[in-house]
Amino acid sequence: MKLVAIDLDGTLLNKDHRISDENMNALSAASEHHLVAIATGRAVMDVQAMLGGRVSLPVIASNGATIFDHSGQLLSETPLSQETAEQLIAYAENHRLYYEATTAHHLLIPFDGKQIIREELDASDKRLSKESAQKAWARAEVQFAQAGWQPRSEIRSLIRSGHAVYKLLFFSFNKQVLTELREQFVDQADLSCTYSLGYTLEFNSSKCDKGKGIRQLAGHYGINQKDTIVIGDSDNDLPMFHAAATRVAMGNAIASIKEISSFVTLDCNHHGVAYSLKNQLALY
């Protein structure tokens, strides 16, 4: 039996952020004889919403901060420290920056989160064509469509009251804003940060990543490292590419992923996961 860990955005999901019928059928077929898992930066409730009960798979969620078995049982959790989470949120609030705090059951965002992004986009309109502005807002709406998305006030107070934060995501159309945020916190020993989907910067505890999640899941199910396979495309997939024996890069993957891959499959808009599971990996 193989362990196959598959990323979501840019990998299993197409440009419309959906799982195609071809990919879903491939997941079902491969999981009959192998352990197929999802490994994503998204929260587990969002993964479950996307799978829609069609298959029951283990999930490495929030970049490895939470890990669940195929029945949905929590195997491990690695939250940010309360102090660090508060520092990051304070930075965002002081710089009027949109953020999402992943907790056990919700994605908490500032009460005026949509307005923050709208103000930033309006300020950029002079540089953007009408079509570009519409595409930018459509990209922002991907964030708003996530399961568990909940605007709240006084998020720092919730954290102080004991709500664990597994991941903090920051979104901006201005990459310089994200660069400055990263530079502010990148040397903090208890933090890891990765870019995802172009407009987002994600912070997790340095004690977790997708690679550590792969190792833990393999150990839990008694699967040898030589029988681990990963499929991905982006910066936050690098740790699991270094952890797995066989590495499949999407056709749309970044260069650093392709450089260390065993195979390159089709892109996410042409059912690259299904193609790889059947034709490159021969798992069904």
- The residues carrying an active-site annotation are 7
Paired sense of beta strands 200-205 and 167-171, if any: antiparallel
User: What is the distance between the alpha carbons of residues 27 and 258, in angstroms, rounded to a whole number?
Assistant: 22
User: What is the distance between the alpha carbons of residues 24 and 188, in angstroms, rounded to a whole number?
Assistant: 40
Cα distance between the two ends of the chain: 12
Sign of CA dihedral 237, 238, 244, 250: positive
Q: Report the amino acid identity of residue 269.
A: N
User: What is the distance between the alpha carbons of residues 142 and 145, in angstroms, rounded to a whole number?
Assistant: 5
Cβ neighbours for 102, distance < 8 A, ≥ 6 positions apart: 43, 62, 65, 108, 165, 166, 167, 168, 169
CB atoms inside a 10 Å sphere around CB 274: 23
CA geometry: angle at 229 spanning 10 and 217, to 5°?
100
